[in-house]
Chains A and B, each alone.
Chain A
Amino acid sequence: MGLLTILKKMKHKEREMRLLMLGLDNAGKTTILKKFNGEDISTISPTLGFNIKTLEHRGFKLNIWDVGGQKSLRSYWRNYFESTDGLVWVVDSADRLRLDDCKKELSSLLQEERLAGATLLVFANKQDLPGALSKEAIGEAMGLDDIKTHHWCIIGCSAVTGENLLSGVDWLLDDIAARVFTAD
């Protein structure tokens, strides 16, 4: 069997990605997940533990892990790092008082060895709120320009209206696919 055949075979078997969605509590992670999957978002409770959703998108099988962001749960985040292809960091763009907290948590994640290979998508969520900061302002507050260790992208979105959720996920898939599923 030649190398190319092997590579092709692998491609087919492994069109599966593991996405880890993290962020402070109240950022809108679960709402994003449910909205993306076309589910009702009015009954969502603060996450006590985690949710996993497996869905097909553009021929990829996505395993999306949504872990609760309350302070008391953050120490458990590391239990979910292993084998993560994409990290989705969700920010409440209207929660200006916790931007500092938010930046600190993200920075420490990016130093994690087990997340070293992951692509980073930052969702500047809740853009529908009149008091929301722009994605540029959020990017600056998160210090994204200083990130040299990961491919990253920031997208302004709203989990309530659904705006830009798809384009964010599509960017993430493209980046991961280019990295993981193509030989060159």
Chain B
Amino acid sequence: MDIQVDICEGNRDDNSSNVVKIPERLLQREQARLDDAERRKEAKESHSVANENSEFFTKAFNRDRAAIEELISICSGADRALATQTLDEATAKTQQLQKFLNDSMMFLAQYELRQAQASLQKLQTSLAEKRDEALPKKKFAFRSRTKATEQVCDTVPATQSGETVIDGHTPAESSIGKVEETVYSKQCGFSNMDDMVLTKTAGEINKNDVLLSHLTNCKVRLFGSPSTLHIKNVSGCEILCGPVSSSVFVDHCSNSTLALPCQQLRTHNTTSTQVYLHVTSRAIIEDCQGVSFAPFTWSYPTLDEDFVVSGLDRARNNWTQVDDFNWLALGTPSPNWTLISEEDRKTTWEI
């Protein structure tokens, strides 16, 4: 701020030829700049605090993890009392580590969070295995421990969306009538149908973006590879679709069965729906209940070719990995989705 004063004095001295004249505008500009610079500096500092935090987290996390692994590895069944003590200590430390992760969630990037979750999962598994191996008759002891872990997790606030949707219509949708009309005339797909069997061929679909909307009790078969697929306001439908090269977006879907391969599955406001899924990145749900997942099993004569067209990796199917955006608590599984057990899966499909 000293600078500012100097400049002002210099500026006032009209007779002095060796002082640069600085127009008012530039001065203001400079003041704004300095304020801005200050603002940036603060921001940078807080950014670096975030960095430091995450660095600190990673170091501390890895150190504790190594300590627990060490405990697990030195534990043997030779001395039962010692083994119990060691494993109890390892379990307690694991719980602390979980707590530490929960507390650090806010400043961790997604990648770090997943890494940490994965290593905790691994710790839990090897701890359980070791307990089985070293203390074969006391399995239940570990179970009671995991319960304690769950309680820790319960304290993490799970976000619950307070929005209620009435009659399957969001407020935004009602005011969009005009746009909606033009959509239906131009877009590849089906809209406003009841009790119909609807099919599209590979030729019709050919890398189009496909929209299915306002369908009730329909059987839809999409043979081909769409670029992307939107399913909106459907109920009681069975929708089977060839490989979708990017995302499938589902909104307001109920009592339906979907079968599809895709890169991402984004499910919203959906209830009582089964999804037979091949997903190469991840599936997510938001504001959903009673959504269940099984691996994709539908097949049709040109499926292989369509997989090639879509560019999807056939060997990579993450159908079991579902993120619930209303349930970000670590450790406790979301009550909003489940996996369909093998005996309950649909194995035959009518084309």
Residues of A that sit less than 8 Å from B by CB? 1-4, 6-7, 10, 14, 16, 18, 25-26, 42-52, 63, 70-73, 82-83, 94-101, 104, 117, 126, 128-132, 141, 160, 180, 183-184
Question: Across the two chains, which residue of chain B brings its CB closest to A45?
Answer: B282
Question: Across the two chains, which residue of chain A brings its CB closest to B321?
Answer: A45
Question: Across the two chains, which residue of chain B brings its CB closest to A4?
Answer: B20
Asked whether B183 is an interface residue with its Cβ less than 8 Å from the other chain, the reply is: yes
**Dominant SS among interface residues on chain B:** mixed
Cβ–Cβ contact A43 & B230, under 8 A: no
Q: Which one of B36, B264, B311 lies within 8 Å of A46 (CB-CB)?
A: B264
Q: Please give the distance in Å from A118's CB to the nearest CB on chain B.
A: 12
Chosen A-B contacts, 16 in total, with CB atoms closer than 8 Å, are A3-B30, A14-B37, A16-B40, A45-B284, A45-B323, A48-B110, A48-B284, A49-B110, A49-B113, A71-B286, A94-B209, A96-B182, A100-B173, A129-B208, A130-B207, A183-B30
Asked whether B186 is an interface residue with its Cβ less than 8 Å from the other chain, the reply is: yes
Residues of A within 8 A of B208 (CB): 129-131
Cβ–Cβ contact B37 & A100, under 8 A: no
Residues of A within 8 A of B111 (CB): 51
Cβ–Cβ contact B26 & A183, under 8 A: yes
Q: Digit string of B98-117 for contact with A (CB within 8 Å is 1, else 0)?
A: 00000000001111010000
Cβ–Cβ contact A95 & B230, under 8 A: yes
Cβ–Cβ contact A72 & B326, under 8 A: yes
Q: Please give the distance in Å from B104's CB to the nearest CB on chain A.
A: 12
Interface size band for B: 35 or more
Residues of B that sit less than 8 Å from A by CB? 3, 7, 20, 22, 26, 29-30, 33, 36-37, 39-40, 42-44, 46-47, 108-111, 113, 159, 161, 163, 172-173, 175-176, 179-180, 182-183, 186-188, 207-209, 211, 213, 227-228, 230, 232, 246-247, 249, 263-264, 266, 268, 280-282, 284, 286-287, 311, 313, 323, 325-326, 328
Known A45-B323, A46-B264, A50-B110: A131·B187 in contact at CB below 8 Å: yes
Cβ–Cβ contact B33 & A63, under 8 A: no
Residues of B within 8 A of A96 (CB): 179-180, 182-183
Q: Which one of A26, A45, A117, A129 lies within 8 Å of B227 (CB-CB)?
A: A129
Give me 14 other A-B pairs in contact (C-beta within 8 A), A26-B249, A82-B43, A131-B186 excluded: A1-B3, A4-B20, A14-B37, A42-B313, A45-B264, A48-B284, A48-B323, A50-B110, A70-B286, A72-B326, A95-B249, A96-B180, A101-B172, A131-B188
Q: Which one of A51, A97, A128 lies within 8 Å of B179 (CB-CB)?
A: A97
Q: Which one of A2, A50, A141 lies within 8 Å of B109 (CB-CB)?
A: A50
Known A70-B286, A184-B26: A51·B109 in contact at CB below 8 Å: yes
Q: Please give the distance in Å from A137's CB to the nearest CB on chain B.
A: 10
Q: Report the separation of the CA atoms of residues A132 and B7 in the bound assembly, to the nearest whole angstrom.
A: 55
Question: Across the two chains, which residue of chain B brings its CB closest to A129?
Answer: B209
Q: Which one of B39, B108, B232, B281 lies within 8 Å of A97 (CB-CB)?
A: B232
Residues of B within 8 A of A44 (CB): 263-264, 281
Cβ–Cβ contact B287 & A3, under 8 A: no
Q: Which one of B37, B109, B211 lies within 8 Å of A49 (CB-CB)?
A: B109
